[in-house]
Chains A and B, each alone.
Chain A
Amino acid sequence: MNVPADLRYAKTHEWIRQENDVITVGITDHAQSELTDIVYAEPPKVGAEVRAGATAAVVESVKAASDIYSPLSGTVTEVNDALTSNPALLNTDPFGQGWIFKMKASNPTEIDALLAPEAYTAQIGQ
């Protein structure tokens, strides 16, 4: 299972990528593999306030709907519109074209509570 070294992870299987003050959020390779065929994605709205650990998006496989939790608190600045027409990007490229939303963190110290790649790898039992 792919766990890129340059990202931080939530226990609930989301990742963040930090570039200056822009945080990109997606789900991990492990998460997409567990969810299987993703057929629908409902990202948050631009401008929405999200809270760390609270539901920010929903992705659905044929079998089940799954909440996606925001790893950090802040404001949504951009969402990945490509997921509307091609939700399978979450399966095929979870760390790239399958990103879900970008945000501006209101409390960047929350990042310290996220897992480093090694810790997340240990959590998923690799």
Chain B
Amino acid sequence: MSDLALLKHTPLESAHVACGARMVEFGGWYMPVQYSGIMEEHRAVRSASGMFDISHMGEVIVSGPGALAWLESLLTNRVGKLAVTRGQYTLMLDESGGVIDDLIIYRTGELSYFLVINGACRDLDLEWMHGHLPSDGSVVLQDQGNDYAAIALQGPDAEKALRALYPACDIPKRNGIALLIPSLVASDGIVPSLVARTGYTGEDGFELFVPVAHGIALWESLLAAGVKPCGLGSRDTLRLEMGYPLNGSDLSRDRTPLEACLDRFVGLDDPEKGDFYGRKALEQQRSEGLPSQLTPLKLSVQGPPLRSHYPVLADGVAVGETCSGALSPSLGEGIAMAYLPEVCRIPGTQLEIEVRGRRYAASIATLPFYKKPSL
């Protein structure tokens, strides 16, 4: 157990305790892993609505006349195609093409952008960004990670819950961002409340960013509206059912987005996308061939829940290990992701996942693992 005093604490901690949360260490943060139970929370998000504290994530504002050109050099897909109020998933790479972080960037004004980065690598991301800022002062970088409390409201009933709380709010379309109206503005006036229609669950939903002092009030009003508190446990099963990668597990400095099968978020073939950190390494890797690819796997037999770091075998030979795994609550099956060499895709190859010395037959799945039943 980590020393509590060394962990970072979210502004919503007292609300979690009041909701009966089980708290754990996650990426240096003291976070709720579950309240009523992972299965129940998972089902609430798939069938109604749930909310997650995402205050550990970092908010960074990039602005100034040089902001766009600098962001194009920093991120893998074209920032210039974003209209004001629009956002996109993107990656920040090092020169060798390794993933520093995956993040969402929203364009909030003509010359300003709002970036949401992963909680576990906030310091590293900011260090990288500061280290690569142009020296002419044309770009302003503001770390607002400690100014915001953030809540992800997710599920088919999320919009209904949001409309009930904010009837006057201009609710954004998918991947869009808007001011949360009535806007709660901190006393210093620099922390506008925002609502983005994004998430990490595969369901419709929103990510709400409000000044730290208003976090608990927002949490409690969502609770009163019947939204179920959900922890990191169900956040992980929900995202894995969709095949969304988790930085630190599925993404790392040792893997490129091409290996992670995130090509569609990399602008290599976009004629208007210029140079960016990692581009040369990606082009070289593309011409030489990928050593491995992030591959979705499913157990073909009844077996234990899958987890990270389980060996994967092809025709009895170890070829890799799982980087994420779970018992999918929606499917009742073991699902996992693993970086595997091309040979594993040859039809007829017998794949197996080894759990505590026992091998279970597995097969390559297609993403998402979980497909929403059509009405």
Which residues in A have some Cβ–Cβ distance to B below 8 Å? 36-37, 39-40, 42, 58, 60-63, 65
Contacts and interface: CB of A to CB of B under 8 A. Distances in A.
A37 B305 contact: no
B356 A63 contact: no
Interface stretch (B33-41, B83-91, B159-167, B284-292): B33-41
Contacts of A61: 38
Contacts of B233: 62-63
B226 to A, nearest CB: 22
B327 A40 contact: yes
Contacts, number: 36
A42 B360 CA distance: 14
B329 interface: yes
Interface residues of B, number: 15
18 contacts: A36-B34, A37-B37, A37-B39, A39-B39, A39-B327, A42-B304, A58-B356, A60-B305, A61-B38, A62-B39, A62-B233, A62-B237, A62-B329, A63-B33, A63-B34, A65-B304, A65-B305, A65-B307
B326 interface: yes
A58 B329 CA distance: 20
A36 B304 CA distance: 16
A60 B304 contact: yes
A36 B24 CA distance: 14
Given A60-B327, A62-B329, A63-B233, 8 more contacts: A36-B37, A42-B304, A60-B304, A62-B326, A63-B33, A63-B38, A65-B304, A65-B307
Contacts of B307: 65
Contacts of B327: 39-40, 60, 62
A68 B38 CA distance: 22
